[in-house]
Structure 1
Amino acid sequence: MIRKQIYLDGRHQESVRRMAAARGVSEAEVIREAIEAHQGQPRSGYKDPAAWKRALKVMRSQRLPSSKQVQPRKWSREELYEERVKHYGRRSR
């Protein structure tokens, strides 16, 4: 992608900000979609909020009950690193 700087008046800026927030996308994405819509080419990555809500509902229905949730890990990053150092030694540069 190529970075472009554009100037918007306050009314357009607020409109772009609201659309981006409502759809959960960046302001740049809203502007790109507007350009493509003007050219008659809808973006293939258009997000359908209703579809996301349906997908989220399915995912939530399939998660494990709280009694069968995976137990929290009992190790830390430091412990794993120390185990690696004991096994492989320190890397020399």
Structure 2
Amino acid sequence: MSGKICKQIYIEPHQEHLLKIIAQQRGVSEAEIIRQAINLHISSMTNFQTNIATWESEKTFINSIRNRSALPGGRDWQREDLYER
């Protein structure tokens, strides 16, 4: 058990039942199932934070486009022209 830290946790009876079943099906220890669950949970939180940072970047870009002035002369096409193409 080198490199690991011992933690005591409390789980519900139904969680213990599921934990035993999953560990037995996968052929690993209950502790390994708990470690995998922690890693899965943490990675989902990290991905969410990354997505928030990406969205903030996109919002900044969208606002920069929205705030810039119109091009001189305007556009030379009509929306209906796009349907004819």
TM-score with structure 2 length normalisation? 0.46
- TM-score using structure 1 length: 0.42
Rg bigger for which structure?
Answer: 2
